[in-house]
């Protein structure tokens, strides 16, 4: 392997370097001159530093969109259009998170908060920009440690401390699973590069130990994306963390985690995909209930065409996540917990695209995580703005918000309907492409039709609890009087997010074609 020139490595890492400088400036400025100033001034000043750093890092990243693909240090750092697009998305999500945070009570450690937020974004960007197992693990840990600390940033709030502890314990377990799986893969292939791993598996048929290694990798990432049965940390962490942090966990980290999971399994292990399809399922009524039930049972098992592979595993977890996430969300009374269970269900939808195991499936997954990231960020941004003024994120505190905060209520309507998959919003076309990719995988026999039908049914279920929240906002009478006023920068930021969600629903084809071309280059 020829060493990469230092200037090439530095140029590729210029966006991350700018974020490091911005984080250090925020820490120094807070320590030197802002410790004794009022909260609003500290938030605004340090938030401005973070915003400027994010905007500055977008400039060199934008230039990478037109540059030739670059692979440095054996895949440790990969610069191409696809990585540049998703790094831009992560920066935009982080930028809106900063805007939400400026208007939020962050406690005493404001400088540390914005610095760690930027370091978390760096971890996500490195996670997107690598095809090498060791760097993947390091980037995952950098991101995770930042999120643990951010969850506990409100040191005087018991709920925040409890959430951080649970998040940390589950995160440590997931890291152990992930590292164990990666070590097995390296031991069996002798390489940590995803493309070389694919060649090694094609040369030597994968054995049981390789399946064990891949299983542990999927389990490790399953914790990160909160898929059933590795979801138990999510509701408590979402509810207990400061709402801007919850938005960052539910959007930026999910986008990066789903992106690298898609790259790992579809770039490194396409040979081990297997199948999760049903074939030949049919029964005939013969006038006898017992015979009919027996036919259903026998035909069911004879139609199962599960072939050992990761699609089978992802198909089962997708089904369980859609069922549990949507059904559990129905009984929630806290908005953040409701959105947490909704996130679990959406992880199931995303896995439907992964089960397709095709380039169209990968394209649909990437498109959906863009839509999902923007929509969820907007929803949590509205929750942060309203809960910060009502003092509660319980659903009852949102009663009559359409009268007290009509603009934010309208934005929440857009975000919730997009999460439910109502046209012509981005969430509808995101689910459409996911389900279409699964159907096209076995277009002749509709082998994955069972998973698609379950997704459609669960999407209808999700509409119910989203409408319950909208009923509190638009139908019930407010318990308090007076208009809720929010800062202009926050209104503009959330408004742009809503416009993006609407735009992705009205013109989805351009983004899908772009992603399709980028996926084809991998």
Whether residue 229 has a cis bond before it, omega within 30° of 0:
yes
Average pLDDT over residues 410-415: 94
- 273 or 471, greater pLDDT: 471
The band of 12, judged by pLDDT with boundaries at 50, 70 and 90, is confident
SS3 394: strand
Asked whether the predicted pLDDT for residue 22 surpasses 90, the reply is yes
- DSSP codes joined into one string, 166-197: HHHHHHHHHHHHHHHHHHHHHHHHS--BHHHH
Q: Are 411 and 498 in contact (CB under 8 A)?
A: yes
Model pTM score:
0.90
Instruction: Give the N- to C-terminal CA distance of the chain in Å, as an integer.
Output: 20
Which secondary structure element, helix H or strand E, spans residue 225, and what is its range? helix 208-225
Q: Which two tokens stand for residue 327?
A: 């059904």
Nearest 5°: the CA angle 264, 427, 370 is 40
User: What per-residue confidence (pLDDT) applies to 4?
Assistant: 59
How high does pLDDT run on average in the chain? 86
The band of 291, judged by pLDDT with boundaries at 50, 70 and 90, is low
The band of 308, judged by pLDDT with boundaries at 50, 70 and 90, is low
User: What per-residue confidence (pLDDT) applies to 277?
Assistant: 66
Q: Are 151 and 163 in contact (CB under 8 A)?
A: yes
DSSP structural state of residue 1: -
Asked whether the predicted pLDDT for residue 284 surpasses 80, the reply is no
- 9 or 467, greater pLDDT: 467
pLDDT in tens, 140-199: 999 999 999 999 888 778 888 888 999 999 999 999 999 999 999 999 888 888 888 988
User: What per-residue confidence (pLDDT) applies to 485?
Assistant: 83
Pairwise CA distance, residues 366 & 66, whole Å: 20
Q: Are 307 and 275 in contact (CB under 8 A)?
A: yes
User: What per-residue confidence (pLDDT) applies to 482?
Assistant: 78
pLDDT in tens, 417-467: 999 999 889 999 999 999 998 888 765 555 678 888 999 999 999 999 999
Pairwise CA distance, residues 430 & 504, whole Å: 9
Pairwise CA distance, residues 153 & 426, whole Å: 33
Pairwise CA distance, residues 2 & 10, whole Å: 17
Asked whether the predicted pLDDT for residue 369 surpasses 80, the reply is yes
Q: Where are the domains of the chain?
A: 1-178+234-268, 286-522
SS3 161: helix
Three-class SS of 24-67: HHHHHHHHHHHCCCCHHHHHHHHHHHHHHHHHHHHHHHHHHCCC
User: What per-residue confidence (pLDDT) applies to 278?
Assistant: 60
Q: Count Cβ neighbours within 10 Å for each residue of 268-293 and write b for 16 or more, e otherwise.
A: bbeebbbbbbbeebeeeeeeeeeeee
Report CA-CA distances (Å) from 141 to 31, 119, 138.
27, 11, 5
The pLDDT > 90 percentage for the chain reads 47
The band of 496, judged by pLDDT with boundaries at 50, 70 and 90, is very high
The band of 409, judged by pLDDT with boundaries at 50, 70 and 90, is very high
List, in order, residues 6 or more apart from 85 with CB less than 8 Å away: 65, 514, 515, 518
Pairwise CA distance, residues 172 & 220, whole Å: 10
pLDDT in tens, 101-112: 988 888 788 889
List, in order, residues 6 or more apart from 83 with CB less than 8 Å away: 64, 128, 129
The pLDDT > 70 percentage for the chain reads 91
Which residues on neighbouring strands pair with residue 277, listed in sequence order? Answer: 305
User: What per-residue confidence (pLDDT) applies to 375?
Assistant: 94
pLDDT in tens, 63-88: 888 777 888 888 888 888 899 999 99
User: What per-residue confidence (pLDDT) applies to 281?
Assistant: 41
Which residues on neighbouring strands pair with residue 193, listed in sequence order? Answer: 132
């Amino acid at each position: 392997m020829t060493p990469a020139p230092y200037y090439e490595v530095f140029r590729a890492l210029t966006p991350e370097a700018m974020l490091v400088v911005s984080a250090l400036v925020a820490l120094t400025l807070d320590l030197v001159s802002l410790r004794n100033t009022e909260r609003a001034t500290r938030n605004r000043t340090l938030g401005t530093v973070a915003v400027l750093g994010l905007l500055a890092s977008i400039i060199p990243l934008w230039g990478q969109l037109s540059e030739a693909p670059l692979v440095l240090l054996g895949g440790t750092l990969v610069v191409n259009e696809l990585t540049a697009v998703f790094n831009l998305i992560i920066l935009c999500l982080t930028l809106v998170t900063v805007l939400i945070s400026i208007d939020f009570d962050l406690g005493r450690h404001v400088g540390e908060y914005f610095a760690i937020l930027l370091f978390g974004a760096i971890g996500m960007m490195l996670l997107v920009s690598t095809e090498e197992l060791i760097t993947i693990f390091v980037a995952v840990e950098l991101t995770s440690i930042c999120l643990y600390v951010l969850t506990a940033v409100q040191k005087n709030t018991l709920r925040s401390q409890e959430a951080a502890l649970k998040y940390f314990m589950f995160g440590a377990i997931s890291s152990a699973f992930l590292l164990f799986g990666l070590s097995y893969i390296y031991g069996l292939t002798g390489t940590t590069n995803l493309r070389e791993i694919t060649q090694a598996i094609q040369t030597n048929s994968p054995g049981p130990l390789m399946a064990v290694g891949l299983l542990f990798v999927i389990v490790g990432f399953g914790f990160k994306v909160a898929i059933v049965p590795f979801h138990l940390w999510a509701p408590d962490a979402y509810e207990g963390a400061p709402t801007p942090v919850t938005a960052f966990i539910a959007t930026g980290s999910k986008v990066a985690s789903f992106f690298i999971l898609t790259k790992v399994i579809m770039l490194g292990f396409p040979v081990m995909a297997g199948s999760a399809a049903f074939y030949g399922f049919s029964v005939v009524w013969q006038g006898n209930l017992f015979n009919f039930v027996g036919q259903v049972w026998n035909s069911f098992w004879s139609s199962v065409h599960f072939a050992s592979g990761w699609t089978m595993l992802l198909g089962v977890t997708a089904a369980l996540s859609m069922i549990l996430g949507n059904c559990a969300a129905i009984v929630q009374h806290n908005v953040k917990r409701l959105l947490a269970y909704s996130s679990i269900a959406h992880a199931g939808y995303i896995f439907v695209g992964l089960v397709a195991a095709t380039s169209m499936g990968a394209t649909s997954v990437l498109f959906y995580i863009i839509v999902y990231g923007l929509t969820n960020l907007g929803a949590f941004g509205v929750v942060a703005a309203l809960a910060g003024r009502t003092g509660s994120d319980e659903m009852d505190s949102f009663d009559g918000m359409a009268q007290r905060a009509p603009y934010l209520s309208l934005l929440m309507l857009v975000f919730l309907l997009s999460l439910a998959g109502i046209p012509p919003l981005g969430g509808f076309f995101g689910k459409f492409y996911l389900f279409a990719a699964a159907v096209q995988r076995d277009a002749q026999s509709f082998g994955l039709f069972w998973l698609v039908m379950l997704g459609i049914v669960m999407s209808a279920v999700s509409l119910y609890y989203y409408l319950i929240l909208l009923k509190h906002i638009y139908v019930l009478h407010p318990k308090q009087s007076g208009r809720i006023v929010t800062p202009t920068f926050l209104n503009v930021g959330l408004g742009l997010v809503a416009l993006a969600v609407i735009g992705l629903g009205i013109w989805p084809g351009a983004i899908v074609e772009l992603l399709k071309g980028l996926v084809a280059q991998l």
